[in-house]
Amino acid sequence: QLKLVNPSQYRFEHLVTQMKWRLQEGRGEAVYQIGVEDNGLLVGLSEEEMRASLKTLRRMAEKVGADITVLREREVDYDSDVPRKITEVLVRKVPDNQQFLDLRVAVLGNVDSGKSTLLGVLTQGELDNGRGRARLNLFRHLHEIQSGRTSSISFEILGFNSKGEVVNYSDSRTAEEICESSSKMITFIDLAGHHKYLKTTIFGLTSYCPDFAMLVVSANTGIAGTTREHLGLAMALKVPFFIVISKVDLCSKATVERTVKQLERILKQPGCNKLPLLVNSDDDAVTAAQQFAQSPNITPIFTLSSVSGENLDLLKVFLNILPPLTNSKEQEELMQQLTEFQVDEIYTVPEVGTVVGGTLSSGICREGENLVVGPTDDGKFLRLKVCSIQRNRSACRVLRAGQAATLALGPFDRSLLRKGMVMVSPEMNPTICSVFEAEIVLLFHATTFRKGFQVTVHVGNVRQTAIVEKIHGKDKLRTGEKAVVRFRFIKHPEYLKVGAKLLFREGVTKGIGHVTDLQAITTKENGLEESLGPGQLSF
């Protein structure tokens, strides 16, 4: 927008309608640049015009129920005697009926790089003492506290209110209060760095479908251990990532620069093809957030310390402005499909019964809805009813596509459930299979990869050992080769979709690919019995 000085009533209404549409497109967020012509020419406004324009913008925002925050101001060299400025303003809607923006960020990095501590500092609002106090609230098991190593996946939430201020546990808030006062939530998925827990980390990356990944690198050790592997995982699953170099208070400037250079070298390699962007000021953070969402090739790099708090604000500014990946139209399309919920975790809660946690990948799920869950070991689907829904620890009536939540199933028998199942609407007639084909690339293998080889396959929330039954057109594969391979699950059939991303591993063997064909086992509706249809693959 160039300027918004005292608009007429008609023009004001028009501007308000435009703002409504923009907020809807950006799922409740929009960034306005004032003092820029429509063709992108930086004209700038004088002090007085700018004040009047911001006043109009504030009036517009009040009308649509939003708040505005000035992100940054810039002076423009324009041939005039008066200094002229451009202002960037974030307009964010105050949330109604619990529909806050939810971004999921997976946290990756080598063991001891300071992942849990950084999350502790961000979500608790207190700096660390250098001996791991900040991360104690994130650990879920006693052995994690004793060894200081994360071995399970834990979730932490950080909120931003409509004015762009951080909402976290600092003012002794509970999780429910954070949800109520935030219009944007960032859920951090804290993953394990240790090599021993790699399968947990892969499960976290494939099943919780994060929007972004944050790779934490320790400034004093540089790129070591599992850092490269985690970087590779994020790239294989096409998760856009940004990098945080932690512990800069421990080492000299030269060491930090060395680590930055090392990272830049790796990011510019032909395999990565990323453009590193080092963030040193608020201005950089705003630019990084906007560019990062538009082109996935840009990788912002932050250098910060969880102990001295240096540059932590830059990361907060970045997270506050980071827009969602999907626009409202794509989400609407997903919501119109049939319900499908991926089961990632199963708990038993006293006086509630069985509870499942996971992500709704399509459709809408309401309280009291009847769904079927499966496949069980013999390929059946069982009926069940959703008793109540919780999202980020606060009750929620309706769950929309792409949101993560926990569903209470009442007295349903827990032993019938396992990770990797799906809950779908009964009319979906889900396809399940034991045998499937996938086009794969072998990333690393010590010798040759051939028929009869057993690997652990990860597809979404499914993880199970499978046997290689046939490699089409070849009898063996070497590192870096591509082929279509037929796999068979060894234990029970699973619900898969054609086109789903696939990762497999076995010791040092690793590969990625996507599912190309399923040999379906059909399930009939009446009483949900089974009949084996003719296979879709020729034997």
At 22-60, the pLDDT tens digits run 888 888 888 898 988 888 888 888 888 899 999 999 999
Res 16 pLDDT > 50: yes
Q: What CATH number does domain 101-325 carry, 3.60.15.10, 3.40.50.300, 3.40.50.970, 1.10.1240.10? A: 3.40.50.300
What is the model's pLDDT at position 134? 81
Give the residue among 108, 338, 136 at the shortest CA–CA distance from 216: 108
Length of the chain: 539
Assigned CATH topology for domain 432-520: Elongation Factor Tu (Ef-tu); domain 3 (2.40.30)
DSSP calls for 439-470: EEEEEE-SS-EETT-EEEEEETTEEEEEEEEE
Res 406 pLDDT > 90: yes
The Cα 31–Cα 23 span in angstroms is 9
Q: Where are the domains of the chain?
A: 9-93, 101-325, 329-424, 432-520
Res 387 pLDDT > 90: yes
Q: How confident is the model at residue 514 (pLDDT cuts 50, 70, 90)?
A: very high
Res 7 pLDDT > 50: yes
Cβ-Cβ contacts under 8 Å for 496 (sequence gap 6 or more):
431, 432, 433, 436, 459, 462, 515, 518
What is the model's pLDDT at position 488? 95
Res 219 pLDDT > 90: yes
Q: How confident is the model at residue 96 (pLDDT cuts 50, 70, 90)?
A: low
Mean pLDDT (whole number) for 73-99: 79
Quote the strand ranges of 62-168, DSSP E.
66-76, 84-93, 101-109, 154-160, 166-167
Neighbours of 47 (CB within 10 A): 11
What is the model's pLDDT at position 533? 36
Residue type, 36: V
Mean pLDDT (whole number) for 406-424: 91
Residue 300: cis peptide before it, omega within 30 degrees of 0: no
Class of 329-424 in CATH: mainly beta
The Cα 314–Cα 292 span in angstroms is 15
pLDDT digits (tens, 9 = 90+) for 168-190: 888 767 888 888 788 888 999 99
Of 322-331, 438-447, 456-465, the range with the highest mean pLDDT is 456-465
Res 528 pLDDT > 80: no
The kind and range of the H/E element at 437 are: strand 432-444
Q: How confident is the model at residue 97 (pLDDT cuts 50, 70, 90)?
A: low
Residue 311: how many CA atoms within 13 Å on its side-chain side? Answer: 18
Which of 8-12, 167-171, 279-283 is predicted least confidently?
Answer: 167-171
Residue 357: how many CA atoms within 13 Å on its side-chain side? Answer: 14
Over pLDDT 90: what percentage of the chain?
Answer: 42
Tell me how far apart the terminal alpha carbons of the chain are, to the nearest angstrom. 64
What is the model's pLDDT at position 538? 32
Res 393 pLDDT > 60: yes
β-strand partners of 364: 400
Q: How confident is the model at residue 525 (pLDDT cuts 50, 70, 90)?
A: very low
- Does this chain's domain 329-424 share its CATH topology with 432-520? yes
Over pLDDT 70: what percentage of the chain?
Answer: 95
Res 298 pLDDT > 70: yes
9-93 CATH:
3.30.110
